[in-house]
Amino acid sequence: MQSLYTSASTMAQLQKQLDTTGHNLANVDTNGYKRRDAQFKELLTRNIQNQPAALQTGPLSTPAGLRIGVGGYVANEATRFSMGTFKRTDRALDAALSDPHHFFAVIDRDGVTKFTRDGNFQLSPQADGRIQLTDDAGRSVVNGQNEPILLPADATGVELNKDGNVTGIVNGERRVLARLAVGYVDNPNQLTEDGAGLFTAPGQYETVDGNPLTVGTLESSNVDMATEMTNLTQIQRAYQFNSKALMTTDQMMGIVTSLK
């Protein structure tokens, strides 16, 4: 019976790891995506005392008895914030962040400001004629006051500068129209992942000065295709092994039952 529990438990956890690997592979071409890792821990073990009480075994390097485990479990899914490679686009509204502690700030559908590493920005005309700066999913990009960036209706030639300023030509003159917020997170591992490449900070965040942007460039995902495909193969092999062990145990139990 023990092997049944161990195999079934391990297969359930391998499925979770498979889902994580599949999610990484599905986002290999997503700008700014940060890969996930499934972290395993050992499930509880039981100590079986198989030494007669009177038996003297002498000094041992390990405790007497037999430790039987019941597999492992996915204790946590960690997000890896290592940098992805930069790809040149030469587009005036594309930007990448060279510091892994820096994030763009956008307003999500629920009205909460969240962080992203995807700097593929768009211009979205509004009902009042003004132009809103958004990410590629239509979320509002915010300024240092945590307000949506809205540009004049007649602004043309809108560009990003490396200092975060948004400039455009109004009445024949190029002007600074807004400045997008770049948030600083001392420990990115404290961020909560919300899906779609978005993260929520545990509290208030600081904005960055200087020249944090590399304009005309996008950050690729940090997913390594070869590593993920290797992980996928290993997971599938482990799943097959445990499935075979489960079937073998079932067959053995059937034989034992038939002998009674």
Of 209, 199, 120, 130, residue with least CA distance to 160? 120
CA 175 to chain centre: 37
Provide the 10 A C-beta neighbour count for residue 245: 17
How much is the pTM? 0.81
Of 235, 234, 237, 252, residue with least CA distance to 4? 252
Digit-by-digit pLDDT tens for the chain (260 residues) are 667 777 777 888 889 999 999 999 999 999 999 999 988 766 555 554 545 554 555 555 555 555 556 666 777 889 999 999 999 999 999 999 999 999 999 999 999 999 999 999 999 999 999 999 999 999 999 999 999 999 999 999 999 999 999 999 999 999 999 999 999 999 999 999 998 899 999 888 899 999 999 999 999 999 999 999 999 999 999 889 888 888 888 788 888 788 76
Measured CA distances, 209 to 75, 172, 182 (Å): 38, 29, 8
Q: Is 216 exposed, middle or buried (0-12, 13-18, 19+ CB in 10 A)?
A: middle
Of 135, 144, 134, residue with least CA distance to 204? 144
CB-side neighbour CA atoms (13 Å) of 39: 8
State the pLDDT at residue 179: 97
**What CA dihedral angle connects 154, 155, 156 and 160, to 10 degrees?**
-170
State the pLDDT at residue 250: 79
State the pLDDT at residue 213: 97
